[in-house]
Structure 1
Amino acid sequence: MKITKNLITPESIKKQRWEIVNEMSKNRKRGIILDVAEVEGSYALKDTESLYNGLSIGEKLDICDSRESPDNIMLTVKALNGKTVGFLPASISLLLRLLLEKKCSIYCYTEYKNYTNKLLTVCISIYVQRY
């Protein structure tokens, strides 16, 4: 599989998640890739249109435990300006929470964004610096 523009979409993540991760792991410019995911909960955020306009493909985002998520297990994805982009699914957050507790640097990049019918969809690639 060759990584091409717009390869990472909600549909491709559902169908080819591990193939995408495997292909992206060949290029370590950003760090060690852990996963790709669709960010959840952005539908519940305020002013999603300005959030969409402020996000760029390839933009580095932060992953943290802010306790803003609807579920205490879920980690929060934030833009570097501090605005919440959404939340990581609990199944992905479990491993990342463990790595954060071990003081690993975890971050992500915007790979896909869409704003249709006032709904924001964001897909990210997730990386770790110190494993």
Structure 2
Amino acid sequence: MIKKNSICKLIKNVKTLISSDEFRTKHSLEDNAFTRNRKLSFQDIISFILGLPRKSLPTELDLFFEEKDFSVSKQAFSKARYKISSQAFEDIFQMSTDIFQFTSHPKTWDGYRIFAIDGSDIAVAHNKKNETEFV
């Protein structure tokens, strides 16, 4: 079971990581991206994406930037988002797995971790390509 202190540690470490100039420099796709103080900071974009927006992009952007007293267009967000390497999210994911691997102590059976895997059946159309691919 994931403990509350593991989640707090993860959030703290992610905030520290995305606030660092080294991380920003490493994962900015353009040399001069995010070097000046602008509405959309590197940290804001990463935080917004990690928040897993569920509503329409303009609605989520308005909610996210509501406390900062300004609004951001979906075009401006999309343009800024393309200046960040996908490797940034892979690094954040790796850090999170490292934290949970070493701070949580899952129950084991004979030393093995047990996972429940869904075995749902999916109907696949019958054609030559699918027969060679899925059979």
TM-score by length of 1: 0.29
Greater per-residue strand proportion: 1
**TM-score, structure 2 length as denominator?**
0.28
Q: As a proportion of its length, which structure holds more helix? A: 2
